[in-house]
Amino acid sequence: MTRSLKVLTDEQLASFEQEGYLIVRGVWNESEVDEIKRTFETIGAQPVPGYFEPDLSGAADDPLKRYPRVMHPHRFDDVSKKYMLHPGVLAILEDLYGEEALAAQSMFYYKPPGSRGQALHQDNFYLKVEPGNCIAAWAAIDRCDEDNGCMLLVPKTNTYDIVCPEVSDSRESFTTHYVKPPKEEKPIPAVMEPGDILFFNGNLIHGSYRNRTTDRFRRAFISHYANVSATKISHWYNPLYRADGMELTLDTNPDGGPCGIETPAYH
């Protein structure tokens, strides 16, 4: 059943369509942000095989070895699943899609001081949602700014095709793929406060630079979604979830995408 009332304004919807992204301020309140912080402080204390595998030896020369991202925490943690299916987030996504959203993935990034960023890329290269597209909901758990490696967005690239990535600079990016932005558009920083959520189209080119601080994490809870009319997705993201938690499985979109190579389970 389609909702009769929208939560986003016409101006917000038009901005998302034109720019490819939208920041909605204060979606989560202070107590919700604190619950996520506490949850991932607990998760970050020990390995969760297959989902979070830190180096706890204290000898790691890369801060991301101690604090790698947590992949699909909704598959083992109820709090993560609750926020992936947060009613406020799903209501915004329904406005953006014009139909129900299905939750496909959750992630948590610690991004500790000194850690590398993530080279510019496009999400639907990995999720391969068809027909339609994925949308990310990127929630700030700490203040995110240029010093601690906030998100970088290349406006209007939501209308660009998915392209085959080049190899990234491993000194600055912990992932290997890099998508070169068009000359006419430059990456802009997404400065956010805790509880703000950035929504962006799966074709939008985005990434982040290094966390240059010595004492500030840049934590973020990120989920990806598909439109309910989609029929295919990369197999890494099945099962998907409706708002009530019911699982469903889409047909498998084969690995390789437009580039004829296998892609990893995450990005």
Alpha-carbon torsion 24, 231, 75, 207, what sign? negative
User: What's the pLDDT score for residue 258?
Assistant: 62
Predicted pLDDT at 80: 98
Binning pLDDT at 50, 70 and 90, where does residue 60 land? Answer: confident
CB crowding 249-265: b at 16 or more within 10 Å, else e: ebeebebebeeeeebee
Exposure class string for 42-64: b at 16+ Cβ within 10 A, else e: ebbeeebeebbebeeeeeeeebb
Q: What rounded mean pLDDT belongs to the chain? A: 94
**Can you tell me the distance from the alpha carbon of 254 to that of 222, in angstroms, rounded to the nearest whole number?**
24
Contacts of 181 (CB under 8 A, 6+ apart): 120, 154, 157, 187, 205
CATH number of 10-46+63-259: 2.60.120.620
Domain boundaries, the chain: 10-46+63-259
Q: Looking at the DSSP assignment, which residues form a beta bridge with residue 135?
A: 201, 225
> Alpha-carbon distance 10 to 214, whole Å?
41
The mean per-residue pLDDT over the stretch 205-217 comes to 97
Q: Is 167 helix (H, G, I), strand (E, B) or coil?
A: strand
Q: Could you read off the pLDDT of 71-114 as tens digits, one per residue?
A: 999 999 999 999 999 999 999 999 999 999 999 999 999 999 99
Which range (103-117, 124-138, 140-154, 248-262) has the least confidence? Answer: 248-262
Q: What is the DSSP letter of 173?
A: B
pLDDT at residue 235, rounded to an integer: 92
pLDDT bin (cut points 50, 70, 90) of residue 208 is very high
pLDDT reading at 266 higher than 50: no
CA 105, CA 225: separation in Å to the nearest integer? 7
Q: What's the rounded Cα separation, in Å, for the pair 133 and 122?
A: 11
Residue 169 tokens, joined: 């600079």
Weakest-pLDDT range from 29-43, 45-59, 143-157? 45-59
pLDDT confidence of residue 238: 97
Q: Tens digits of per-residue pLDDT, 232-246? A: 999 999 999 999 999
